Amino acid sequence: MDKIDFKKIHPELYRPSAKDFALIDVPAMQFVMVDGLGNPNRAPSYARAIEWLFSVSYAMKFAARASLKTDYVVPPLEGLWWADDPADFAARRKERWRWTMMVMAPDFLTRAMFKAAVEKTEKKRGAPPESLRIEEYAEGRAFQILHIGGYDDEGPTLARLHDDVMPSQGFTFSGKHHEIYLSDAQNRAIETEDDSPAARSPFLRRR
């Protein structure tokens, strides 16, 4: 059977330019999500969130292949980031950061399939994160650009967005800092059969 690759279906979302910011309209999409707080490099809850997101996502993928005769590439990891005090975010005080990590779940996946995937994963990983859920996220209009480099090197790109691009076009913030990870520096022990989780190198999207 053919395998659906959403990165190819939606290049405007997953293949942005690295040269300049683009203003796009992001459609409402369904995601498996986990919320958390703290430095992603140190917080055990962050690593646990990633494990659960991909374990459940792959369980649903295999269920769709078996019951719906539909196969797809599990989309890349995404993250919403913010802080109660915006200065903590700008100053990279990561222990005060809040986050929602998420993986897009195609709309043909049902809540019943999600529940079954969670129950299957529980047998291997124990109780799930309390905030684990599947829900729609409607982001709307956003600026985005491809960032190539380390996570801590995003500062100049964000500064250009905040101080130049958005003010010059009459925009202000209406949502959270959104990253989609296209290459991966972290190892994840996920049972994936013939697929592997998307590698992570962030690109930035900001409403």
Fill in the DSSP letter of residue 172. Answer: -
* CA dihedral for 112, 63, 100, 51, sign (positive or negative): positive
CA dihedral angle for residue 188, residue 123, residue 109, residue 203, rounded to 10 degrees: -20
The two tokens of residue 49 are 């969130």
Compute the distance between CA of residue 162 and CA of residue 111 in angstroms, rounded to an integer: 38
Q: Which of 88, 85, 97, 84 is nearest to 42 (CA)?
A: 97
pTM of the entire predicted model: 0.86
* CA dihedral for 25, 29, 32, 37, sign (positive or negative): positive
CA dihedral angle for residue 187, residue 189, residue 192, residue 194, rounded to 10 degrees: 60
Compute the distance between CA of residue 190 and CA of residue 172 in angstroms, rounded to an integer: 39
Which of 1-5, 79-83, 87-91 shows the lowest per-residue confidence on average (mean pLDDT)? 87-91
- The pLDDT value recorded for residue 188 is 37
pLDDT in tens, 148-200: 877 777 778 888 888 899 899 988 887 888 999 987 534 333 333 333 223 22
pLDDT band at 205 (very low <50, low <70, confident <90, very high): low
Which of 23-27, 94-98, 181-185 shows the lowest per-residue confidence on average (mean pLDDT)? 181-185
In the block, residue with structure tokens 């196969």: 71
- The pLDDT value recorded for residue 17 is 86
pLDDT of residue 29 exceeding 90: yes
